[in-house]
Amino acid sequence: MRITRVMNPLFVVIVGVAVAIPAAAQDRSRRVTQPAVAVAQPQAQPQAPQQTARAGNAQAMRVAPGQRQKINGVIVSREADSIVVRDMSGVDVVVSLTGATKVAERKSNPFRGAKTYPITALLRGLQVEVEGRGGNTGTLVADKIRFTADDYGVARSIESRVNPVEGRLTVTEGRVDGAENRLTAAEQNAQRLSGQLEELAAVANTARGGAKAAQETADAALTAAQASMTAVQATNDRISSLDNYEARKNIAVNFKVNSAALTPEAKAALDEIATQAKTEKGYLIQVTGFASADGSEAKNRALSERRAQAVVRYLAENHDIPLHRMINPFGFGELKPVAENNTRDGRKQNRRVEVAVLVNKGLTTPITTAGSPAQSSRNN
C-alpha cells in the first residue's frame, strides 16, 4: 500500500510533464517567431534599399550584420553553399550555409532525440525553420535549420518529379536557340527582300511597262517573309509547351486490408489504362499509393509504397511499359484520403493506388502555318 501511495503521485507528475512540455514548446516558438517578425517589419519601412525586386512579386530582404534572425518559409532555390527561403509574406531571404550549420528534424515527440541530416537534404520545396545571424553581405548565416519528417518526404517527392522535367527543359532551351537562329535568318531574308523591293521600285520608275510585274514580285516576296515569320512563331509556341503535361486518363485501383496484392478488378483496370497509354505519344505514367488509417502511420506509409510498386511492376512485366515512362512511384500513407476513415466504405476507398496517363502538350499541339492546313505535331 505504501508503494502504491508513492507511485500514484509520481505517475500523475510524469503525465503532467508529458502534456505540458509540447504545449510550452509551441508557446515558446510563437513568442520567438512573433517578436522576430515585429522587429523585421519596422526595419523594412525606413530601410527600403534593403529590399530589392525579384522575379514576379517576391522581394529580397537583406539582414543587418550581426542581427539575430529567425524565419519560417519554403526553399525556392539551392546553390552549393546557400539557399533562398521565401517566407509566408513572399519575401526572399538568402541563407548562407557553413560547416557549422546544423540541419536537424523539428520533432513533436519530446522523449526522443532529433534526427540530424546532411546539408544535401535541403531540397527545393522543403518547409524549413532557419535561425542565424546577419552576415557582411546581407545574407542570413544559418546556425540551425530544422524541418519535419513529413515535409522532407513531400520535398523528396517534388524533387523526383522536378529533375526529369529540368532535363527536358535543357533540351528545350537548345531547341529554342535553334529557333532563334532560324528567326534571325528569316529577318535577314526579309531585309534582303526589302532591298529587292526598292530595286524593283526604281525599275518601275524608269520602265513603266514593267511596273505591274515588279509589284507582283514585291507582293510575293512580302508574303513569303510573313509566312516565314508565322512559321517561326508557331515553332516557338510549340517549344514553350514541351514542359507542360495534361492528364488524358485517371483511374484508382483498390486493395484489401493490409494487402498490396492486385485484385482481378485492379488488373483489368490496369490493362485498360496500359492499352490507352501505348496509343499516346510522349506519355508518362504517374503512380501514387495510399492507405486507410487502420494501422500506424509508419506501417501505412510503407504499405502505400508497396501498393504503388505492385502497380509499377504489373505494368512493366505484363504490358512492357518502359520504366523511363513511369514517374518514380510514391506512397503517401494515410495522407490525402478521398473518404472518411470512420466508416468501412470510406476506408475501402482510401486503400487505393491512383494511376494517371500524362501527355506532353508540346508534342500533341497541332501547328498551323499560313497557307497550309493544320498538321498534327505528335511525334515520338
pLDDT in tens, 348-368: 999 999 999 999 877 666 655
Q: Is the pTM of this model over 0.95?
A: no
Alpha-carbon distance of 68 to 134, in angstroms, equals 7
Q: Calculate the CA 127 to chain-centre distance.
A: 14
Alpha-carbon distance of 170 to 216, in angstroms, equals 44
Please tell me the total count of domains within the chain: 3
Answer yes or no: do 90 and 122 share one domain: yes
Query: 373 in a domain, yes or no?
Result: no
Answer yes or no: do 138 and 179 share one domain: no
Q: What residues have CB less than 8 Å from 250, skipping those under 6 apart?
A: 354, 355, 356, 357
The confidence score (pLDDT) of residue 225 equals: 73
Q: Flag residues of the chain having pLDDT under 70.
A: 1-58, 166, 209-211, 214, 231-232, 234-243, 363-380
C-alpha cell at 320: 512492357
The confidence score (pLDDT) of residue 63 equals: 92
Answer yes or no: do 206 and 134 share one domain: no
The confidence score (pLDDT) of residue 24 equals: 44
Answer yes or no: do 279 and 338 share one domain: yes
Query: 117 in a domain, yes or no?
Result: yes
Query: 353 in a domain, yes or no?
Result: yes
Answer yes or no: do 110 and 181 share one domain: no
Instruction: Identify the three-state secondary structure at position 28.
Output: helix
- CA-nearest of 340, 343, 325 to 273 is 325
| Residue 208 CA: distances (Å) to CA of 45, 110, 212, 319 | 73, 97, 8, 73
Alpha-carbon distance of 267 to 262, in angstroms, equals 6
The confidence score (pLDDT) of residue 364 equals: 65
- Cβ count near 242 (within 10 Å): 21
Answer yes or no: do 227 and 256 share one domain: no
Query: 295 in a domain, yes or no?
Result: yes
Rg, C-alpha atoms of the chain: 31
The confidence score (pLDDT) of residue 19 equals: 37
Contact between 26 and 107 under an 8 Å Cβ cutoff? The reply is: no
| Residue 272 CA: distances (Å) to CA of 302, 326, 380 | 27, 16, 22
| Residue 78 CA: distances (Å) to CA of 86, 91, 98 | 12, 16, 14
C-alpha cell at 196: 529587292
Answer yes or no: do 143 and 272 share one domain: no
C-alpha cell at 204: 518601275
Query: 296 in a domain, yes or no?
Result: yes
Long-range contacts, stretch 227-231, CB < 8 angstroms, 24+ apart: 227/369, 227/370, 227/371, 228/186, 228/189, 228/190, 229/183, 229/186, 229/190, 230/369, 230/370, 231/369, 231/370
Domain boundary among 199, 224, 240: 240
Query: 370 in a domain, yes or no?
Result: no
- Cβ count near 325 (within 10 Å): 17
Alpha-carbon distance of 369 to 375, in angstroms, equals 9
Q: Tens digits of per-residue pLDDT, 105-157?
A: 988 777 777 889 998 999 999 999 999 999 999 999 999 999 998 899 888 88
φ/ψ of 61, rounded to 5, equals -105, 135
- CA-nearest of 193, 144, 157, 162 to 32 is 144
Domain boundary among 214, 240, 266: 240
Answer yes or no: do 19 and 136 share one domain: yes
Query: 13 in a domain, yes or no?
Result: yes
The residue whose grid cell reads 484508382 is 252
φ/ψ of 245, rounded to 5, equals -125, 150
Answer yes or no: do 322 and 289 share one domain: yes
Answer yes or no: do 197 and 260 share one domain: no
Answer yes or no: do 140 and 9 share one domain: yes
Contact between 107 and 114 under an 8 Å Cβ cutoff? The reply is: yes
Domain boundary among 196, 216, 240: 240
**What's the burial of 287, exposed, middle or buried (CB within 10 Å: 0-12/13-18/19+)?**
buried
CATH code where residue 112 lies: 2.40.50.140
Contact between 135 and 63 under an 8 Å Cβ cutoff? The reply is: yes
Query: 287 in a domain, yes or no?
Result: yes
End-to-end Cα separation, the chain, in angstroms? 82
Rounded to the nearest 5 degrees, what angle is found at the Cα of 30, between the Cα atoms of 141 and 131? Answer: 10
Q: The domain containing residue 108 runs over which residues? A: 2-147
Answer yes or no: do 35 and 140 share one domain: yes
Instruction: Identify the three-state secondary structure at position 120.
Output: helix
CATH code where residue 290 lies: 3.30.1330.60
